[in-house]
Amino acid sequence: MPILVMKFGGTSVADLDRIRNAAEKVRTEVDRGYDVIVIVSAMSGKTNELVGWVNETSPLFDAREYDAVVSSGENVTAGLMALTLQEMDVPARSWQGWQVPLLTTSAHSAARIEDIPRHNIDQKFAEGMKVAVVAGFQGLSPEGRITTLGRGGSDTTAVAFAAAFDAERCDIYTDVNGVYTTDPRITSKARKLDRIAFEEMLELASLGAKVLQTRSVELAMRFKVRLRVLSSFEDSTPNSGTLVCDEEEIMESKVVSGVAYSRDEAKITLVTVEDRPGIAAAIFGPLAEAGVNVDMIVQNISEKDYDDHPGAVTDMTFSCPYDQVARAEKAILDAKSRGQIEFSDLVVDKEVCKISVVGIGMRSHAGVAARMFAALKAENINIKVISTSEIKISVLIDRKYMELAVQALHDEFELEKSS
């Protein structure tokens, strides 16, 4: 029998009625002739509750016990889903991560998947089981302890199972009916995409689109797992939702496929840094050690300041998540106190956001940047930092212009049109 992987997020299994709704969708696929592996998240809000209990009990908690507690939410959902399917006369059995086993590294709360042996589940399929309901987000360390994969890890679990079992497809059920050209809450012109390439989805996910977890898209692209994003709350057909697939499966791509934004950004500038070999390493090494996720980096042209700063000096600007600013400042100031770097001032701007346009069509079309910058100029929006890749252009702008910029770029590239 062909295998299909179906993943249901927290909102899709938030209560017993929604679990029954999800189970109906699983039964439909069984009736179509599939053996199904269902990956479930914890019921909506449950993981946050469990994390809160851990923090209240032990602020400096043991990571191994944290994983033991936090992973329990998925176990409850898996059992309830299996029971619901059994009540529908669908042969189903629940599986916790250690029972599969889903083998991971020992990095508790941020484990990486190492292997998923097929034997146990394949044997049960051969014996007549039609649905394996697997608790997402969790696995088994080499030491035999429960591990978790980090928030959003159920998406990664689903893609990993689809790769391990050579599934025909991996369907991700969520509270939206696909991937849109931008956030429909910002512009009513946002259009659902029928298909999107892995690379485009990876860029959109990393740039702030929250439909799919970044690690899951990376894994899907690596193993060529076809993903479909669709709604748990709408009737589905084989053509529902958005298919995330290889670029070769898309006949003709628009130059720009989507506009993404990240609201919680900050810009940090080191003023009059000595311009010498190794200065970038001296700055960004301590930031990396402090766990700061640096994104956009700009270094100004060197200049001579003979009065105050003899020799060549430059300004170094970078962006990072808003909630990592304090950590970044401490890392830089500590590096200065140790004599690793010298600068005259540290300027932090917490009122910025990142806006990005993404599209594989950029590879073969010139002038995308010019159109983007002209559209922002027409709205009197100043660009602070620019970053580009082969299929992406990102800018930092004042946060107060975020929605206006998204709308202007969506209109400029006519993303409401399908072709």
Known binding site for ATP: residues? 7-10, 174-175, 180, 185, 210-211
Contact of 419 with 254, CB cutoff 8 Å: yes
Indicate the DSSP class of residue 66. Answer: H
Contact of 259 with 415, CB cutoff 8 Å: yes
Q: Which residues are annotated as a binding site for substrate?
A: 47, 74
Which residue type, as a one-letter code, is found at position 346?
Answer: L
**Element housing 196 (H / E):** strand 195-197
DSSP 130-189: -EEEEETTEEE-TTS-EEE--TTHHHHHHHHHHHHTT-SEEEEEESSSS-BSS-TTT-TT
**Neighbouring residues of 307: CB distance < 8 A, sequence distance ≥ 6:** none
Tokens representing residue 77 in the block: 């959902």
Q: Which residues are annotated as a binding site?
A: 7-10, 47, 74, 174-175, 180, 185, 210-211
**Element housing 375 (H / E):** helix 368-378
Which of 56, 72, 63, 78 shows the shortest CA–CA distance to 8? 78
Indicate the DSSP class of residue 302. Answer: P
Pairing of β 113-115 and β 3-8? unpaired
Which of 74, 93, 83 shows the shortest CA–CA distance to 36? 93
CA distance 240 to 394: 30
Which of 131, 100, 125, 220 shows the shortest CA–CA distance to 170? 220
How far is residue 53 from each of residues 56, 73, 135, 148, measured CA to CA in Å? 5, 13, 21, 17
Buried b (16+ CB within 10 A) or exposed e, 42-67: bbbebbeebbeebeeeeeeeeeeebb
Bridge partners of residue 397, in order along the sequence: 353
Q: What phi-psi label fits residue 71: left (phi over 0), alpha (psi between -120 and 50 degrees) or beta?
A: alpha
